[in-house]
Amino acid sequence: MPVINRFAEFHDDIAAWRHDIHRHPEILYEVHRTAATVAEKLRSFGLDEVVTGIGRTGVVGVIRGRKNGSGRVIGLRADMDALPIRETADVPYRSEVDGRMHACGHDGHTAMLLGAARYLAETRNFDGTAVVIFQPAEEGGAGGRAMVEDGLMTRWGIDEVYGMHNMPGMPVGHFGTRPGPFMASTDEFGIRILGRGGHAARPHLTIDPIAAGTAVVQALQSIVSRNVDPLQSAVVSVTRFHAGEALNVIAEYAELAGTVRTLTPEMRDFVEARFKKVAASVAEAYGATAEIRYRRNYPITVNHPEQTAFAVKVAASVAGAANVDPQTPPLMGGEDFSYMLEARPGAFIFIGNGDTAGLHHPAYDFNDAIIPYGCSYWAKLVETAMPA
């Protein structure tokens, strides 16, 4: 089952937009150039409404169909921000900003939704309204939440919302999704182990925060290995351990930090409670004190069953049923499209990026070959959900 021919016709245009965005990566909410480029293009396509500054630097475009008897409004979301990573990919459109790059494919997501918006504005072969959403600060800034809190869903009366992300390792022309929990919550923690510093030659007069911190790290690993049902999913990762400055001094304190990932609210509550108890009690056993900072970040990305089944149907119409996995295993990575799925029913789907470097890798590059598939998915989603 083919992609829409029109996207093959202006594939080069979409790729050129993507390359331009790739050359000029912007971080978190500071996506001013990217947002301005998006808004300019949407206006040139003849959209009915283009609004900037939603969720600080987000852009929203409105396309009304040939008919509007259904009154339905479907939202389509792409993310715009890059990452603080130095690019190593040898491409002609390599990042021109040192230490920043599009290492997650948001340049491609933005370009594909722009392509879909151009097509939908040309054809308007649907009965209802399509709202294209270009979001800042997906990479840790909760831009999705900022747009929702800024009235995204209510201002435009959005009934359902859909998101898409490229997936390295999944073949080009393939899609994958699943109903229910699809991506994990992304909680963050910091622990300061307070001991008693002193001379390294007299450790008996100190309370060594490094020894206590090491024991805390080891004990935290028991939460998943010995407290969590093996058939459920949880991750506890200590990713930072800092202590001391001099070789002959036992430090006064050690600082640990990391992340916790879960796929259900019940497991999220359990791991947080267990985490705090383990860290505090192990530090106390060493005579130290644990000051714990635990912050809940992105919620679990939960696909709604009805909308997920619909997304599978649309993806199959683009790629063929054999190339769509409706039970893709959930991932422990996080995604702030979760905030939009908390506000409205919808579904998040992966599109294959082929055999490329992984997401957040300095050699990663979005695969332009997937553009017609992604654009066709967006367009057919609108046309199928709201037939004219």
192 forms bridges with which residues in the sheet?
255, 291
- What residue type is 234 in one-letter code? A
CATH classification code of 185-298? 3.30.70.360
**Contact partners, residue 110, CB within 8 Å, separation at least 6:** 17, 18, 21, 34, 38, 78, 79, 80, 134
Rounded CA separation 359/1 (Å): 29
Tokens describing residue 220: 């935290």
Rounded CA separation 95/84 (Å): 11
The domain locations on the chain are 5-183+300-385, 185-298
pLDDT tens track of the chain, all 388 residues?
A: 588 999 999 999 999 999 999 999 999 999 999 999 999 999 999 999 999 999 999 999 999 999 888 899 999 999 999 999 999 999 999 999 999 999 999 999 999 999 999 999 999 999 999 999 999 999 999 999 999 999 999 999 999 999 999 999 999 999 999 999 999 999 999 999 999 999 999 999 999 999 999 999 999 999 999 999 999 999 999 999 999 999 999 999 999 999 999 999 999 999 999 999 999 999 999 999 999 999 999 999 999 999 999 999 999 999 999 999 999 999 999 999 999 999 999 999 999 999 999 999 999 999 999 999 999 999 999 999 999 9
Instruction: State the pTM of this model.
Output: 0.95
Q: Which residues of 62-88 are buried (b: 16+ CB within 10 A; e: fewer)?
A: bbbbeeeebebbbbbbbbbbbbebebe
Burial of residue 355 (number of CB atoms within 10 Å: 0-12, 13-18, 19+)? exposed
User: What CATH superfamily classification does 5-183+300-385 receive?
Assistant: Zn peptidases (3.40.630.10)
Q: Fill in the DSSP letter of residue 299.
A: P
Rama region for 133: left / alpha / beta (φ>0; ψ in -120 to 50; rest):
beta
Burial of residue 20 (number of CB atoms within 10 Å: 0-12, 13-18, 19+)? middle
Rounded CA separation 297/336 (Å): 9
